[in-house]
């Protein structure tokens, strides 16, 4: 099978990233961009982000997860700690996040270290989830091989019955990670592939060094 995609081309010309728009702290710029992406519309899930980890097999792996909160410290998402992703992070906490907001022709690429958030914070978020999502956290041994779809459906039914008319607690193996950035790159598409790229790098004194990269 062969398909030539060399004619897939797009001219990026919606915005620019000028020096006057570069804020002192990258989290401020991230918040500004996130609001602009939401207001512009067209991205169904602007909080969808790619996370790259180094697996137990030493191969990198990417997958999409949902950002649930960001603070001055970093970016929070939730997962099964026993999943392939969770185990990879617990062994090697160095990860990379990336957002692609095609509606404004923007990317944000974040390198950082992930760590578990406090249990009470995971409890608080878990309480806000719909019951179906709570039950699926119990029913799914995430990333494990299963014999059939019926096996999964039967496990879900088991936990539906177990917690019927009861409060559904958070499983100990499920919770949040926060990714604390050491670098954040903001990429704005520009015509003729002369894109704007601004990178923030965290210094030992916790100030951010700001540089422009060639496209």
pLDDT of residue 4: 85
Separation between Cα atoms, residue 97 and residue 110, nearest integer Å? 5
Mean pLDDT of successive 10-residue stretches along the chain, which has 215 residues:
85 88 96 96 93 97 98 98 97 98 97 98 98 96 94 96 96 98 97 96 97 96
- Which of 129, 149, 170, 193 is an active site residue? 193
* Annotated domain spans of the chain: 19-130+172-213
Token code pair at residue 209: 């060094």
181 DSSP β-pair partners: 112
Q: What is the rounded (10 degree) CA torsion for 142, 143, 148, 149?
A: 50
pLDDT of residue 6: 84
15 catalytic per annotation = no
Residue 17's CB is within 10 A of a number of other CB atoms, namely 20
pTM: 0.94
Output the CATH code of domain 19-130+172-213.
Answer: 2.30.110.10
């Amino acid at each position: 099978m062969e398909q030539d995609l060399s004619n897939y081309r797009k001219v990026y010309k919606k915005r620019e990233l000028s020096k006057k728009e570069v804020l002192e702290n990258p989290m401020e710029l991230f918040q500004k961009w996130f609001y602009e992406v939401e207001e512009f519309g067209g991205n169904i899930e602007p909080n969808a982000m790619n996370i790259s980890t180094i697996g137990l097999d030493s191969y990198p792996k990417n997958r999409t997860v949902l950002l649930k909160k960001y603070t001055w410290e970093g970016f929070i998402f939730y997962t099964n700690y026993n999943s392939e992703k969770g185990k990879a992070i617990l062994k090697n906490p160095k990860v990379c996040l990336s957002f692609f907001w095609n509606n404004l022709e923007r990317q944000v690429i974040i390198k950082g270290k992930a760590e578990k958030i406090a249990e009470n914070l995971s409890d608080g978020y878990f309480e806000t989830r719909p019951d179906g999502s709570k039950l699926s956290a119990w029913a799914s041994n995430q990333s494990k091989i299963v014999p059939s779809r019926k096996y999964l459906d039967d496990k879900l039914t088991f936990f539906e019955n177990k917690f019927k008319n009861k409060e559904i607690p958070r499983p100990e193996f499920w919770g949040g990670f926060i990714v604390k950035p050491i670098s954040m790159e903001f990429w704005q598409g520009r015509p003729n592939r002369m894109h704007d790229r601004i990178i923030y790098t965290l210094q030992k004194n916790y100030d951010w060094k700001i540089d422009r990269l060639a496209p």
